[in-house]
Amino acid sequence: MHTDLWNYCLHLYARPGVEHACLELQNRGMDVCLLLCGAWLQTRGVACNEGRLTQLQACAEPWQRDVIQPLRQLRMQWREASEHDEALATLRMQVKTLEIEAERTLLLRLESLTRKWLPGQSAQKCNWLRELVSLVGQPDCDTLQALRAAINHA
């Protein structure tokens, strides 16, 4: 098992079906970095509670809104035009690289926030993904189930 969040995410993202599930969840407006952090916490046996969920959301929301989403919007805006403009295609790839680096930065911030959250001694298993999805008012869906399945087999 990967002990740091970034390498856990890279390993999980490489599993069959995870990239597709993450992109679909992202298109539904979910914060995939937050979901992946929740999966990592669940894998580590860290108990979830309302305070921790609130802390995670408070850490992730401004960075998503102010940094990641504007980069993603710009990259998506240039998609069609970059197919016919090599210079724009190069710039679009640079924006994509910045977007990934911004996501990595958010994951590092989330990891730093959770560093002192030790695995719980409770026999009751917390479902971080369910709690994070409900926190943002999103319904559970088949795509989330696919992500759960990949996490359970990672």
Find the angle CA(57)-CA(93)-CA(28) to the nearest 5 degrees. 35
Confirm whether 27 is domain-assigned: yes
Q: What token pair was written down for 118?
A: 């030790």
**How many structural domains comprise the chain?**
1
Q: What is the pTM of this model?
A: 0.89
Confirm whether 66 is domain-assigned: yes
Along the 154 residues of the chain, how does pLDDT read in single tens digits? 568 999 999 999 999 888 988 888 888 888 999 999 999 998 888 998 889 999 999 999 999 999 999 999 999 999 999 999 999 999 999 999 999 999 999 999 999 999 999 887 554 567 888 888 887 677 667 777 878 887 777 6
Confirm whether 60 is domain-assigned: yes
Strand partners, 46: 119
pLDDT computed for residue 89 by the predictor: 97
Confirm whether 119 is domain-assigned: no
Domain that holds residue 96: 5-114+124-152
Confirm whether 37 is domain-assigned: yes
d(CA 22, CA 36): 9
Beta strands in the chain (DSSP E): none
Single-letter code of the amino acid located at 86: E
